[in-house]
Structure 1
Amino acid sequence: MKITAHDGANGDNFGYKVSLSGQYAIIGARYDDNNGSNSGSVYIYKLIGANWEFIQKLTASDTEAGDYFGYAVSISDYHAVVGAINDDAPDANSGSVYVYDISQSPKISAIDDDHVTTSSVISSAPIPFTLVYSNTGNITVTATSSNITLINNSNIVISGSANNTLNTSCTANIPQNLTLYVTSNEGQFGRTQITTLVTDSFGYTHTQSFFYEIMPSEQKVIASDGDADDRFGVDISLSDNFAIIGAYYDDERGSNSGAAYIYTKDQSGWSESAKLSASDAEASDYFGYAVSISGDYALIGAYGEDQKGSGSGAAYIFNRQGTQWVQTNKLMAPDGASS
């Protein structure tokens, strides 16, 4: 299966960075012009059945021209993280990172709980509801919606049917469990009304409306000591409630020596918990250009490190010990040489 942006344009660089976790994929387009030239964007896809369906396009709430939002991406079952290396907060090209909570479900609220009950679900997933009707006999249930962008011209499907209309039978006052499958072409924020129209064999009708709404959260994080041209957000990796973010032009240990930051999630959100640098850091090591985290271990690349020759490169392993991240290994290619 080949995936292309539905609104792709020349020079967007869709696919510059990608990340995959479970049934979610995120794809960066760092040169998208949605909020100004090269402001950038990302696209989220979800595996539904055998197909990867487009879920939503994200741009930062404060994106500006030249930010390169989408330069780095990472996704898990719960969060999507996006780097914007040229963002100017706090200084020119210091860089920033945006965290989105994709575990937040559309909130389903029924107007008439005597007839329809619903539960929170993820966008494009099944919406269960229970129908209780006062008569016995054959009924037709038809579901329609407002403000939903369609996929394949069918945005609502009722369980037991191939479309948004179901012919079935019911017994008076006996609950019947049905399921709506609502698929939006683009994750839409705000409220969408869904209406079910029930018609029985005697010609009586009952109309029921309820809503689903997607309330996404966005948190912007910047390095506590960020300076101009640090390029915080050049690379990102997620693991459970930890994220690692590279800033390969950080100058704390020498010009462009580089650094990486650990962020930890708690009930109040994401906060910086550690800044990492190599024990033998030098100027132009570019430590933090590539980062990865898994469980209690973080791996950080420094492609400019020159122990085995100019630009031969190295990678460093850090281990989380309590609340501290401790460098435990320096890795170099056994046949490393000058670039």
Structure 2
Amino acid sequence: MPHQPIRRARRDAVVLVLAFIASLLASIATAAPPDPVHGGVVAGGAGWTQQAKLLADVAASNDYAGRAVALDGDTAVVGAAGADVGGNDGQGAAFVYVRDGGVWTQQARLVADDGVAGDEFGFALAISGERIVVGARFAAIGGVAGQGAAYVFERSGTTWTQQAKLAATDGAAFDGYGNAVAIDGDTVVVGAQNATVNGNTSQGAAYVYAFDGGWNLESKLAASDGAAWVQFGRAVSVRGDSVLVGAVSATVGANQGQGTAYVYTRDGGSWSERTRLVASDGEAWDGFGGAVALDAGQAIIGASSNGMAGQGAAYVFVGSGASWSEQGKLVAGDAFNGDGFGTSVALSGGVAIAGSLFSDLAVAQNAGAAYVYTRSGGAWSQQAKLVAADASDGAEFGIGAALDGSTALIGAEFASGADGWPGAGYVFDAGAGTCTTPLVEAFDGVAAPGLPSGWSVAVAQGANTWQTVADADTAPNAAFAADPSSPSDTMLEAPTFVPQAGAMLAFRQHYDLEPTYDGGVLEIAIAGGAWVDFVDAGGSFVEGGYADTMIGSSAIAGRAAWTGDSGGWISTRANYPATAIGQPVRLRWRIASDVSASRSGWWIDTVSFGCSDVPQALAQVSPLQFAFTLAPGGNASDTLHVGNAGETGSTLSFAIGESEAACSAAGDVPWLAATPAGGDVAAATTADVSVGVDAGALAAGTYTATLCVQTSDASHATVAVPVTLNVTGGNPDLIFADGFETP
């Protein structure tokens, strides 16, 4: 695959190579980091589905589209720093797309009005409302080669026009000005990672501009403890009166190249450095600060070389002004050496994304992935793993990432297109199908017999109670209520939460209750209403539902309930009532007994109020087209790979049909065969299908057909794979199109 690295300043290349080598040596020599936050892989799942692939109308191989991406509401921007413009090789462009009714269309192609070859306009970009800022890190300024510039564009209606060109008044050749940009309202920040400061080569700087009828330089930011080669300004982010700047190669203590990030705040028109953020478990050459993002009161910082052999990580901090603290460390649940997790990061409310551009998939090496995390209280957990529907080797999906609400934009600078590998942006949307985890409780954050914050006990009869005990499904604690021989009626009440569409309740339980006389039920109160049995309210159990109907004289006599002996820990999963979706809800586990014999009691553990549905499969089909050339009477074959990049435990079913036209008109194609024509694929595995063509009964000419791959993955229910057979008068000669090679 003819990937050519994007042109880089020589100093950048030297620093990066040395940093990478040192990172590997340091990682191998050190112990594993503290316990990180990670979870199961949910590929394209948990409500996230690919909505669109954004491919430029003039895409060409090595455009590097997707290295930089930006998103604001229904507007997406994809940078193509290698794009040719009017014959200028690598001048660069940025493509603007808008969404209407779930459909994305290209609205504009932005180029610098004074651009020339090699500027790499689009290497960095950002959007805020009706403004876009684009970095051109090698633009010449006043005859100074490669100093760099940034361009501001503004939209009026559907038309974008260049509003300003920003450049450092004290810039020098190859400063890298424009290698990173950020915008929020009337504030723009431009990074210059190679700028010389106080005689320190490549210490780096960041320039802040404010709009007041025009764009004016407000401040030049430089680290108070800066040194040569720290590359301050590699990444920048702005939110209101706060700016975050990454210094990817900064030394921390004795750790060279560990990296830092600096927080600045504005008072009036004056900016001041407030604090320096570092990873609590940082190591030499982690690359911390290579990607940064700010949101209200929180920040995320990528460290793409952290961990053993560069698996990568991202760190979340919370705070303001000079007071910030590390809240969590995010790593991939399926991390592997050299994945580069944290190369890109994005943050929006309680959702974070980290790109992992070298992640391997079941059907493609170094295809890349992006991981979605959600916050519950102060804890972050992995929610989804996003991958491209047309993932291919070396696509580097995840090199760029942007997030706004329930929409994510992921860049893949070597994604395939009609002309080789131009790169693209991929839009994923959670929308109404989002199923974040609003609350998860395992009862482990308290000392027994106390209950977690927000949980309470209500006693309607007797003296029985709920408490935590050290007898759990997952250590150390579970919630427990005894089953006494006297009348009792006791409720364990959960905090209020709002279930989203697609959410499912799940918990583990173990009960030993006097059969049909003593039992437990689940009750729900919706939007402040009365307590009602979960099933009577419209909920339904998918697994582990009520065991029997109660008799006797207890407070729940006559009702279906959990009663008798569960035989150990069991799983219970349930769909919420339709009337509960989007409403404030409370749940309670209610145990009641009568005057007869006692039994052990009822244990509850690991309650998930959000995404706990059956494991989701994700189809990955490659290649996406075949082309054969044969002499009359010849035959040949190639291999179609059907992979399942879904959740652990998922199964993907597939069936393959043939069509001479669209997949909606399937029928027999005599010269084409696929064997096997269907099957099941376990998670993280691939089924190989032999695609055979036979020109035995064909005259010379070109024949076309389509393999229609039907899958159980609803987001990729049908994958169409075009097949072209060219029958000539020459010798049989199999040609693999578009770079595909023999297996």
Candidates 305, 315, 330, aligned match of 2:206: 315
Distance 1:337 1:83, change over 3 A: same
Where does residue 215 of structure 2 map in the other structure? 325
State the alpha-carbon separation in 1 of the partners of residues 124 and 162 from structure 2.
Answer: 16
Where does residue 247 of structure 1 map in the other structure? 136
Q: CA deviation at 1:69?
A: 1.2
State the alpha-carbon separation in 1 of the partners of residues 187 and 148 from structure 2.
Answer: 19
Where does residue 185 of structure 2 map in the other structure? 295
Candidates 154, 173, 176, aligned match of 1:286: 176
Residues 153-302 of structure 1: matches in 2 within 5 Å?
Answer: 214=103, 216-253=105-142, 254-302=144-192
Q: Does 1:66 align with 2:62?
A: yes
State the alpha-carbon separation in 2 of the partners of residues 238 and 220 from structure 1.
Answer: 15
State the alpha-carbon separation in 2 of the partners of residues 59 and 255 from structure 1.
Answer: 31
Which amino acid is 2:205 matched to? A
State the alpha-carbon separation in 2 of the partners of residues 215 and 58 from structure 1.
Answer: 8
Q: CA deviation at 1:60?
A: 0.7
The higher-RCO structure (CA 8 Å, 6+ apart) is 1
State the secondary structure of the residue aligned to 2:122: strand
Deviations along 1:196-244, one digit per CA (max 9) or x if unpaired, are xxxxxxxxxxxxxxxxxx4723311110000000000000100011110
Where does residue 78 of structure 1 map in the other structure? 74
- Runs of at least 4 residues off by over 3 Å: none
Report the number of matched residues. Answer: 188
Deviations along 1:123-143, one digit per CA (max 9) or x if unpaired, are 3xxxxxxxxxxxxxxxxxxxx
State the alpha-carbon separation in 1 of the partners of residues 2 and 195 from structure 2.
Answer: 36
Q: Is contact 2:78-2:94 (8 Å) kept?
A: yes
Which amino acid is 1:320 matched to? F
Q: CA deviation at 1:268?
A: 4.0
Q: CA deviation at 1:49?
A: 10
Which amino acid is 2:170 matched to? D
Where does residue 187 of structure 1 map in the other structure? none
Paired-residue identity, %:
33
Which amino acid is 1:261 matched to? Y
Residues 124-135 of structure 1: matches in 2 within 5 Å?
Answer: none
Which amino acid is 1:220 matched to? R
Where does residue 93 of structure 1 map in the other structure? 90
Q: Is contact 2:68-2:78 (8 Å) kept?
A: yes
Q: Which runs of 5 or more residues in structure 2 are unaligned?
A: 6-43, 230-743
Distance 1:327 1:77, change over 3 A: same
State the secondary structure of the residue aligned to 1:51: coil
TM superposition score normalised by structure 1: 0.53
Q: Is contact 2:52-2:104 (8 Å) kept?
A: no
State the secondary structure of the residue aligned to 2:48: strand
State the alpha-carbon separation in 1 of the partners of residues 158 and 97 from structure 2.
Answer: 14
Distance 1:65 1:307, change over 3 A: same
Q: Is contact 2:205-2:222 (8 Å) kept?
A: yes
Q: CA deviation at 1:10?
A: 12
State the alpha-carbon separation in 1 of the partners of residues 2 and 58 from structure 2.
Answer: 23
State the alpha-carbon separation in 2 of the partners of residues 69 and 301 from structure 1.
Answer: 20
Q: CA deviation at 1:66?
A: 1.2
State the alpha-carbon separation in 2 of the partners of residues 218 and 297 from structure 1.
Answer: 24
State the alpha-carbon separation in 1 of the partners of residues 79 and 58 from structure 2.
Answer: 13
Deviations along 1:84-105, one digit per CA (max 9) or x if unpaired, are 1111103110000100012x22
TM superposition score normalised by structure 2: 0.24
Q: Which runs of 5 or more residues in structure 1 are unaligned?
A: 1-8, 14-47, 106-122, 124-213
State the secondary structure of the residue aligned to 2:180: strand
Which amino acid is 2:72 matched to? S
Q: Does 1:337 align with 2:333?
A: no
Which amino acid is 1:263 matched to? F
State the alpha-carbon separation in 2 of the partners of residues 248 and 10 from structure 1.
Answer: 24
State the secondary structure of the residue aligned to 1:216: strand
Distance 1:228 1:10, change over 3 A: closer
State the alpha-carbon separation in 2 of the partners of residues 64 and 49 from structure 1.
Answer: 31
Distance 1:338 1:217, change over 3 A: closer
Deviations along 1:104-153, one digit per CA (max 9) or x if unpaired, are 22xxxxxxxxxxxxxxxxx3xxxxxxxxxxxxxxxxxxxxxxxxxxxxxx
Distance 1:92 1:10, change over 3 A: closer
Which amino acid is 2:212 matched to? Q
State the alpha-carbon separation in 1 of the partners of residues 84 and 180 from structure 2.
Answer: 21
Higher helix share: 2
Please provide the CA RMSD for this pair.
2.3
State the alpha-carbon separation in 1 of the partners of residues 176 and 53 from structure 2.
Answer: 31
